[in-house]
Copies of this chain bind each other. A is one copy, B any other.
Amino acid sequence: MSAPSLDFWFDFASTYSYPAAARIGPLAAEAGIQLRFRPFLLGPIFKAQGWDSSPFNLYPAKGRNMVRDIERLAAERDLDFALPQRFPQNSLMAARLALVGGDEGWIALFTRAVYVAEFAHGADISDRQALGPILQSLHLDSQKIFTRIEQADIKDRLKRQTAEAQARGIFGAPSFLVGDELFWGDDRLEQALAWASRG
């Protein structure tokens, strides 16, 4: 029998994916669950339902609550939190880089580092200037990787992955899939892991 597994679907622009990314690795390892990192873009999914920005911008009361809620969550979990000045961030380049990281085995560390830069330090994560130092901090050849993500197969793969997310019923991030069972939100991480363990 193969090890239980869980797919972690995330968008680098998503605030609640940050606390999930901060703890999913250790929690899955502890439970003996194989983790697959699946970066995708919420933008096209939001656009399909008529939203041209994050719901946290479109609905200001919801946005204010999100910030306060993550502040409380961060305090409980000993995380830092600072919303970047421009929100949501453009997550396209980070998502393409993550796909390469999936192929090359550094996606978990990269994902965590991007979320820390963005939501612990409030950094812009939209371009090479921001993402280069993150790659270098992981001892990677950033020049080579930036060239790699310009190739069509990576661009296409991200589009396909986003289409797959939408087809599988994903409407927000973070989302967790165990087979076809969908769990939405950092609040459901424990439940999703328990579901995966049960097999």
Interface residues of A (CB under 8 A from B): 49, 58-59, 61-62, 64-65, 68-69, 72, 76, 169-172, 181-184, 187-188, 191
Instruction: Say whether, besides A72-B191, A191-B72, A171 and B49 are in contact (CB < 8 Å).
Output: no
Q: Which of A61, A64, A72 has the most CB of B within 10 A?
A: A61
A-B residue pairs in contact (CB < 8 Å), sample of 5:
A49-B58, A49-B59, A59-B171, A65-B182, A69-B183
Nearest CB of chain B from residue A179's CB, rounded to whole Å: 13
Chain A facing B: main interface SS: helix
Shortest Cβ distance from A171 into B: residue: B61
Count of this chain's copies in the oligomeric assembly: 2
Candidates B49, B58, B62, B184; contact of A69 at CB < 8 Å: B184
Residues from chain B with Cβ under 8 Å of A191 in the complex? 72, 76
B72 close to A169 (CB less than 8 A): no
**12 extra interface residue pairs, beta carbon distance < 8 Å, beyond A61-B169, A61-B170:** A49-B58, A49-B59, A61-B171, A62-B172, A64-B169, A65-B169, A65-B182, A65-B184, A68-B181, A68-B182, A69-B188, A76-B191
